[in-house]
Amino acid sequence: MKTIIVRASILALAILCLCSCTTPPKTEKESAPKKSETTFQMASINLANLSKRIERINIIELKKILKSEQVEILAVQGISRFPGIPARIDFVNELSAKTDWYCVFGEMLNISGRQTGNAIFSMYPILSHQNFSLDKVISTSFEAALQATVDLGVCSLTFVSTQLPPKATTNEQTQCLKLIAAMNPDTTNQHTIVSGNLPAEEIIRKKNSFSEIPSFESTKSTISKIWYTTGGSLQLLTSRSVETELGTLVIAQFVLSNQQKH
């Protein structure tokens, strides 16, 4: 009987000790930023000085090249359109239909049945766009810059397709690039990729904090240059050029990263 009482006392004492002991509260560890990134390929082509008439077969061949080169975003400058003339192939509508991509167009000039402008095509959603006239520059001839914000998944990125005044002075080119650099509406990602007949002067590019992909040469067409804002979250991986019936297609592969907390 005494043994039973002793054992019961020891058990009660053990339970009392367990109940009186407090377990320190668990503290949640701060989640470290997780790095998300995506790799994408963009291309650019300038049609401003194209001397041939664009036919449907040219659009079909361009689509094949875009697919084989795994291009996901395309910037085009100097497009000529002829609204209301069924005999003329509309580059913008035709390529958009063939690729089933999102597309935006920015008009520069519309006179005597001929419309000129720039375009951006994307397999990713285009969140917003605006067309910005460069008419503040004295030597402009209706040139403009088309800006589009594209959703790349990890974050959005700003693309600009522009045709600068061909006779612009160095000061006017600098003015144009300042206007273009200020077009980015995304406060969460300040990166911009600009393509078009950009100036050759390195000082203009550096003043606006842009880097340039390696330049390419062609005797067939006006080369479209590609500039991108410098920074750790947008980096150039590779670049190359491909000759097409419509001119030189300049292709650049980038990696874009974003710091997100989980």
Q: pLDDT digits over 179-212, tens only?
A: 888 777 666 667 899 999 998 888 888 887 889 9
Give domain status of residue 129, yes or no. Answer: yes
Give CA separation, 3 vs 7, 8, 13, 16, in Å: 6, 9, 15, 20
pLDDT at 19: 47
- Phi and psi of 77, rounded to 5°? -120, 155
Is 119 part of any domain?
Answer: yes
| pLDDT for res 88 | 94
pLDDT for 206? 83
* Tally of CA atoms within 13 A in the half-sphere of 169 that contains its CB: 5
Question: What pLDDT is recorded for position 116?
Answer: 96
Average pLDDT, the chain: 84
pLDDT of residue 9: 53
In this structure, what CATH number is given to the domain that contains residue 251?
3.60.10.10
Q: What average pLDDT does this structure show over 12-36?
A: 49
User: pLDDT at position 5, please?
Assistant: 47
Q: What is the pLDDT of residue 187?
A: 63
Task: Tell me how many domains the chain contains.
Answer: 1
Whether residue 190 lies inside any domain: the answer is: yes
In a domain, 224, yes or no: yes
Given this model, what pLDDT does residue 35 score? 55
- Confidence band, pLDDT 50/70/90 cuts, at residue 32: very low
Please report the pLDDT score of residue 37 as a whole number.
87
* Rounded mean pLDDT, 16-42: 59
Domain holding 200, by residue range, is 36-261
Question: Where does the pLDDT of residue 23 fall: very low under 50, low under 70, confident under 90, or very high at 90 and above?
Answer: very low
Residue 29 lies in a domain: no
Q: Which residues contact 124 (CB under 8 A, 6 or more apart)?
A: 40, 72, 73, 102, 150, 151, 152, 153
Which whole number is the average pLDDT over 18-27? Answer: 47
Report pLDDT for 27: 45
C-alpha to C-alpha distance for 235 and 249, rounded to whole angstroms: 20
User: Which residues on adjacent β-strands are paired with residue 37?
Assistant: 257
**Residue whose entry in the numeric block shows the structure tokens 């019936």:** 245
For tokens 């402008």, name the residue. 117
Q: Per-residue pLDDT tens for 137-172? A: 776 778 999 999 999 988 899 999 999 988 888 888
141, part of any domain: yes
Tell me what the mean pLDDT of segment 110-133 comes to: 94
Q: What percent of the chain has pLDDT over 70?
A: 81
Answer yes or no: is 11 within a domain.
no
In a domain, 27, yes or no: no
